[in-house]
Structure 1
Amino acid sequence: MDLLKVADYMNRYPVTFSAEMPVEMAVDRLIRGRQTGGPVIDEQKKIIGFISEQDCLQRMLMSTYHDQQAARVADVMNTEVLTVKSYDGIIDLAQTMLRAKPKLYPVVDDDGHLLGIITRSDVLGAIDKELHSHYGKVG
């Protein structure tokens, strides 16, 4: 199982966001892309933040109650982002996921450029696939 790497199970084409994007557009992208959140990137594809469904929901509710103007992604995104590297092991990531709460992690290169994302479901699927490969060898 030590051979399982993030690169083998990550989504290389995630939904991404820009800081200047309206929150309503971000919500549309989240819904269409079926992601619970995603990385906010700059023009060089470097991660500058992360926006989640919860961030969007909170802002949209506030706008509804207070009849406020539309917000930008930069107004609601988190700037502290937990990331992983493509060469990280799936088992190590699974252990991190047990301690930290994000359901989705951006995958970055050593310079912080976005390569993709990996979700809890991806990690669970990788481990399940590996375990099933061993089940067939038993007996």
Structure 2
Amino acid sequence: MESLQVQEYMNHYPVTFTAEMAVEEASLRFLKTKQIGGPVIDKNHHLIGFLSESEILAKLLESTYHNVHSASVKDLMRTDVLTVKPYDSVIELGQKMLQNKPKVYPVVDDNGNLLGTICRNDVLSAIDRHLRSGFKVGA
């Protein structure tokens, strides 16, 4: 099971954001994709941060209360992002997910360029598929 690699189960087309993007536009991306978090990238596709649905929600609630709409993604994004490599073990990532808070991890190459994301559901799916492949139908 250690041979299950992140690259086999990751989302190759995650929702992404730029630092300059308005919070309202980022919110629409979350609504359209139904993803709960996404990487913030620069023009060269290099990971510079991570934005979660909860950070957007907090800002929009504050904006509604104060009737102000002037924040951008760079004001909300986390820059201390936990990442994984495409060749990392899904099992080890699952264990990491039990110890750390992130539900979504950006997958980056050795140069820090974004390749995709992997979430808890992807890890569950990988483990489930592996376990089911070991059972014979009718056994």
Counterpart Cα distance in 2 of 1:76 and 1:128: 35
* Contiguous gaps of at least 5 residues in structure 2: none
Q: What residue in structure 2 maps to residue 99 of structure 1? A: 99
SS at match of 2:105: strand
Q: What residue in structure 1 maps to residue 31 of structure 2? A: 31
Q: CA deviation at 1:138?
A: 9.4
Q: Indicate the larger mover: 8-17 or 67-76.
A: 67-76
Between the two proteins, the alignment pairs up a number of residues equal to 139
1:72 aligns with 2:72: yes
Structure 1 residue runs of 4 or more that deviate by more than 2 Å after TM superposition: none
* Contiguous gaps of at least 5 residues in structure 1: none
* Cα offsets for 1:18-38 (capped at 9, x unmatched): 000001100111111111010
Q: What residue in structure 1 maps to residue 111 of structure 2? A: 111
Counterpart Cα distance in 1 of 2:136 and 2:21: 49
Q: CA RMSD in A?
A: 1.3
Counterpart Cα distance in 2 of 1:97 and 1:76: 23
Counterpart Cα distance in 1 of 2:83 and 2:4: 17
Q: When the two structures are superposed, what TM-score results if normalisation uses the length of structure 2?
A: 0.96
Identity percentage of aligned residues: 55
Counterpart Cα distance in 2 of 1:21 and 1:74: 8
Counterpart Cα distance in 2 of 1:7 and 1:77: 25
* Paired AA for residue 31 in structure 2: I
